[in-house]
Amino acid sequence: MDCLPVTCDRKGALMNVSDALLLPSFEGATVIAGRAGLDREVSTAMIVEAPDIESWGKSGQMLITSFYAFENLSADGLTFFFDKADELGIGAIVFKPERLLAKAPAQIVKLCDKHDLPLIQIPADTKYEGLLLDVLGNFLDSNLTLLNRFYDLHRQTMDLALREPTVLEILLKLRGLIHADITFFDSTKDRRTTTSQELSRFTMPRLTEFDENQYRSHHYFDAELTYPELTRHATAVLIPSSDDQIYYLILHVKVARLSPLDIMAVENVVSLLQMEILKQNALDRKIFFQNNNVMRELLTEPSLDPERVMNSLQSLGIGAFPHYEALMLKVNLDDPNAIDRRSDILIMARRRLKMLYPETAYLEMNDSIVFLHNVKSPQARYDSTDIKTIMKDVAMVPALPAFSYLGAISSLGTSSNLPDLMREVTEIERFFDGEQYHGRIMRFEDLGIYKLFMQVTDATELTRFIDPRVRELHDRSFEFFETASVLCENNLNYQETARQLFMHPKTIRYRSERIQKTTGLDFHNPDDRLQIALGSRIFRLLDKEN
């Protein structure tokens, strides 16, 4: 009797035990145990010559035996064998009765029922060769069928790629192949493209990765999707990308329902989506450089024609309102060797800030980023608390290196004085980029008298503003000068000053008394404290420029 490959009507699925029983060589076979496991997959067959299953056992094997090899196994040995067979995913046990053993041992029958491992008794005149040829032949036929269908799927995918489809068109094609709805999920930006709006309204999924599979080359996960009134399980596939974003293809179906042919279709679509992401990243990179150059010109060229300024602002999407402000974020890495990761910090910071303040363009530099905010109203200006929260969230990302930062916010301006806004934030960074200002957000309007010093272009000219007593202290003992500076910065808080300088509070108090006695500076006099603070800023600026 001729037999068509049993996989033909099952959408590319592998043969299972029930299918195998339909093969010609199994005529007269009887399932005597483990009937609940008839859906186990069968991919190959072998004759058991030794019971050391841990050495040769593989998932999908159909083991053919007369149990002669089990003759010397103890009860514990038999238990171990069948426990291991279940763990490995053995498909079935085929028993051929012979003169020495005409009936399957009771313990083996019991163990097969325990593990739902089908135990099939075949007639004594059945040839082993016939069983092997039937099982292996159908396995080869099924794989040939899968290979032919894979090439057909690959051809369809390439034809689709040549038409430059949208992401939604790609998803609709896959839905037609696997008969399940699909969502393309950008988890970094929480963006979704989907074939079902209802199924796409899940919260961030909880993912558990599946074990490797012969048909899956990408990472597959069980995705627990939470909806307002229920929880569903789906399958998520990680889409590799060259940027710092994380993309998933969410298949709104459990992985167990996906046949090998379905998996092949998914693999092709994931590769196609990966190419689309790469193309989009290349385009985004080109736009980034273009916009960065436009921003550099706007913020550094005071002689630009007003019409050109307005055209540039419109091209950046920040020309709707008359007023602007600048924000600079300067990032300092705790580990200088992690310098190549600084851009990752700046990228995450700008993405979060643009979500909160969408009317924003930016200029990215080596160790800082400058944002230009088109302000809708005075109440919509940058909020220091928001910016600190953003930087705190970025600092908590495990994959990023440790860092500190200084934020500088300009005054409110118009399109006619954008370089002035840039100068203001740059001057704040120049004057206040010290360790004691890490984690601070400083506004130009709040700088008071310091704004006068920022108008001086040559830093050496500022030395004439230094109180002679402060200069004498600096020149005579830098350690005592540093103590005085930090003590004034901390509003005479001896405990905090001691912590920052790694000293005992009594040492700080002793030094302050010595300074007051030798220089005549009085820490309790607000004017003297201001002179110390001004002198400290100027000396720090001079050191930095030298």
Q: Which top CATH class is 164-280?
A: alpha beta
* Domain layout of the chain by residue ranges: 17-143, 164-280, 301-448, 460-545
- Residue type, position 531, single letter: Q
Q: Report how far apart, in Å, the C-alpha atoms of 293 and of each of 171, 302, 320, 361 are.
A: 36, 15, 21, 12
* Residue 546 confidence (pLDDT): 61
CATH number corresponding to 460-545: 1.10.10
The pLDDT score that the predictor gives to residue 461 is: 74
How many residues in total does the chain contain?
Answer: 546
User: In whole angstroms, what separates CA 196 from the centre of its chain?
Assistant: 25
The per-residue pLDDT for 8 is 36
CATH of domain 17-143: 3.40.1390.20
Say what the pLDDT of residue 141 is. 61
The set of long-range contacts for 388-395, using a CB threshold of 8 Å and a minimum separation of 24, is 388/439, 388/441, 390/349, 390/352, 390/353, 390/356, 391/329, 391/349, 391/439, 393/352, 394/345, 394/348, 394/349, 394/352
Per-residue pLDDT of the chain (546 residues; tens, 9 = 90+): 333 333 333 444 568 899 889 888 898 999 999 999 999 988 888 899 889 999 999 988 999 999 988 988 899 999 999 999 999 999 999 999 987 788 999 999 999 999 999 999 999 888 888 888 877 776 666 655 556 666 677 777 777 777 778 889 889 988 988 889 999 998 877 889 999 999 999 987 888 988 877 678 889 999 999 998 899 999 999 998 876 678 999 999 987 778 777 888 888 888 888 888 888 878 778 888 899 999 999 999 999 999 999 999 999 999 999 999 999 999 999 888 888 888 888 988 998 999 999 999 999 988 899 999 999 988 899 999 999 999 999 998 877 889 999 999 999 999 999 999 999 999 888 878 666 678 899 999 998 877 777 776 666 777 888 899 999 999 999 999 999 999 998 889 999 999 989 999 999 999 999 999 999 999 999 999 989 988 888 887 777 666
Q: What is the DSSP secondary-structure string of 164-215?
A: ---HHHHHHHHHHHHSS-EEEEETTTTEEEES-TTTT---SPEEEEPPPBTT
CB atoms within 10 A of CB 545: 10
At residue 2, the pLDDT reads 33
**Residue 531 CB: number of other CB atoms within 10 A?**
19
Residue 215 has a CB neighbour count (10 Å cut-off) of: 17
Q: pTM value?
A: 0.52
Q: How far apart are the first and last CA of the chain?
A: 95
Q: How far is CA 361 from the centre of its chain?
A: 24
Q: d(Cα 487, Cα 512) in Å, to the nearest integer?
A: 9
Who's near 240: CB < 8 A, 6+ residues apart? 218, 274
Superfamily grouping for domain 301-448: Nucleotide cyclase, GGDEF domain (3.30.70.1230)
